[in-house]
Amino acid sequence: MFKINDNYLKLPGSYLFSTIAKKVTAYKESNPNNKVISLGIGDVTQPLAPAIIEAMHKAVDEMADASTFRGYAPDLGYEFLRRAIADNDYKSRGVELALDEIFISDGAKSDSGNIVDIFAQNNKIAVTDPVYPVYVDSNAMAGKTGDYLKDRECWSNVVYMPCTAENNFVPELPSDTPDIIYICCPNNPTGTALKKSDLQKWVDYANEKKAVIIYDAAYEAYISEEDVPHSIYECEGAKTCAIEMRSFSKNAGFTGTRLGFTVIPKELTCDGTSLNGLWARRHGTKFNGAPYIIQRAGEAVYSKEGREQTGKQIAYYMNNAKEIRNALEGMGYTVFGGVNAPYIWLKTPDGMKSWDFFDVLLEKANVVGTPGSGFGPSGEGYFRLTAFGSAESTKEALERIKKL
């Protein structure tokens, strides 16, 4: 008789965004005349840039001709893309990577789920709290997080590192030593970013404790401050303790197109075994790479036109972020983020619970945001708004919030 993976039964109710979608659908059904604006979900809205579309069209034509047709992509991804990444994302910042330390994939979310496979069952993970829910969920599905404690809304075998206004959203080194440390920087949902000196402390700690850092740099392109590193490998010693994940989703609009990559330096070892080798094996047998057409699209992001065009999109979103920040501050809200990330993280007014504020915003302003508590226990009392809407709808949403 077959058996299911009963770790799935331990997962709490439903994924945060499914709960939000259900609430919004119900509201729209009973109020069909009210126009709801979403400043909630972390998805881009600007279309793919012309340089990217052009590269895709060209690649499509190549697929129609026997002399240029491509079948299965190479395990690690096409060299043209890995080279563009090594040169533009790393070499330009003083980081030398070998091309076989870069693994092309269909996105950082897939890689976050798959990376769990190369680690033993009895590792203890640590996450900043609040954070992107995928890290904990993926480990929970693999049975690595212990039991879900309903009353505290957390897992028994996870080290939560609170990031709140009190510590400026910089996690403190935990007293309970973890084996695998997830750091998302710039952070989703708080929008805050670690300065190089703060990140260096984590790298030193991981090397000392023989822990590994999984560093999610999906929002790297939004960094505007000088002292915030774009890659963890800008910190000394990071190659022996850190895996870095990146995505083309938020910097170039590939959320629906799917493209990302993971870097595992060869120096990163566990008792003499290279993690790069393990991940290469996994990639080779359960390839979750991206199609040729999409990898060509990714290459185009690094062209002169590609960089200019995607740079304009980021500037557009960050202008929204600035508008949201300024407007909310003007209304008396306490606001964080929005400087190195497209997320604005605010304190709910009058110490309201995150979900109560969600309901008020939906019902009174017809604006959808994301309750902070959905990203972890320390997110309670906070709320996330995103800068991914159009400038017009963002402005309208802010006017409605002002009237609350």
Ligand X SMILES: *Cc1c(COP(=O)(O)O)cnc(C)c1O
Report in angstroms the alpha-carbon separations of 318 from 47, 168, 223, 375: 16, 21, 10, 22
Given the complex with ligand X, which of 247 and 394 has the nearer CB atom? 247
Given the complex with ligand X, which of 248 and 401 has the nearer CB atom? 248
Stretch of 96-104, 244-252, 371-379, 390-398 contacting ligand X, by CB under 6 A: 244-252
Answer for which of 138, 190, 255, 378 binds ligand X (CB under 6 A) is: 255
Q: Does 384 bind ligand X (CB under 6 A)?
A: no
Residue pair 266/98 in contact by the 8 Å Cβ criterion: yes
Q: Does 249 bind ligand X (CB under 6 A)?
A: yes
| C-alpha torsion sign, points 284, 286, 292, 297 | negative
Given the complex with ligand X, which of 86 and 134 has the nearer CB atom? 134
Beta bridge partners of 38: 368
Given the complex with ligand X, which of 104 and 361 has the nearer CB atom? 104
Instruction: Provide the minimum distance between the beta carbon of 183 and ligand X in the complex, in angstroms, as a whole number.
Output: 10
Given the complex with ligand X, which of 345 and 365 has the nearer CB atom? 345
Stretch of 15-23, 107-115, 118-126, 358-366 contacting ligand X, by CB under 6 A: 107-115
DSSP string, 288-314: ----HHHHHHHHHHTSHHHHHHHHHHH
Answer for which of 101, 216, 299, 323 binds ligand X (CB under 6 A) is: 216
Answer for which of 48, 108, 180, 339 binds ligand X (CB under 6 A) is: 108
Q: Does 250 bind ligand X (CB under 6 A)?
A: yes
CA dist., res. 399 & res. 117, Å (int): 47
Given the complex with ligand X, which of 249 and 373 has the nearer CB atom? 249
Name the token pair of 270. Answer: 């566990």
Nearest position to ligand X, beta carbon:
107
Amino acid letter at 331? M
Given the complex with ligand X, which of 288 and 303 has the nearer CB atom? 288
Instruction: Provide the minimum distance between the beta carbon of 137 and ligand X in the complex, in angstroms, as a whole number.
Output: 12
Q: Does 132 bind ligand X (CB under 6 A)?
A: yes
4-33 in b/e burial notation, b at 16+ Cβ within 10 A?
eeeeeeeeeeeebeeebeeebeebeeeeee
Residue pair 232/271 in contact by the 8 Å Cβ criterion: no
Instruction: Provide the minimum distance between the beta carbon of 126 and ligand X in the complex, in angstroms, as a whole number.
Output: 16
Instruction: Provide the minimum distance between the beta carbon of 59 and ligand X in the complex, in angstroms, as a whole number.
Output: 20
Q: Does 109 bind ligand X (CB under 6 A)?
A: yes
Helix, strand, coil percent values for the chain (each to nearest 5): 45, 15, 40
Name the token pair of 317. Answer: 């979103």
Stretch of 21-29, 221-229, 249-257, 360-368 contacting ligand X, by CB under 6 A: 249-257
Instruction: Provide the minimum distance between the beta carbon of 4 and ligand X in the complex, in angstroms, as a whole number.
Output: 26
Q: Does 218 bind ligand X (CB under 6 A)?
A: yes
Instruction: Provide the minimum distance between the beta carbon of 89 and ligand X in the complex, in angstroms, as a whole number.
Output: 15
Residue pair 256/106 in contact by the 8 Å Cβ criterion: no
| Contact map string, positions 166 to 205, toward ligand X, x by CB under 6 A | ------------------x---x-----------------
Helices and strands (H and E) in the chain: how many: 13, 17
**61 Cβ contact list (under 8 Å, min separation 6):** none
Longest Cα–Cα distance of the chain, Å, equals 66
* Burial degree of 317 (CB within 10 A; 0-12, 13-18, 19+): buried
Binding site for ligand X (CB under 6 A): 42, 107-109, 132, 184, 188, 216, 218, 247, 249-250, 255, 260
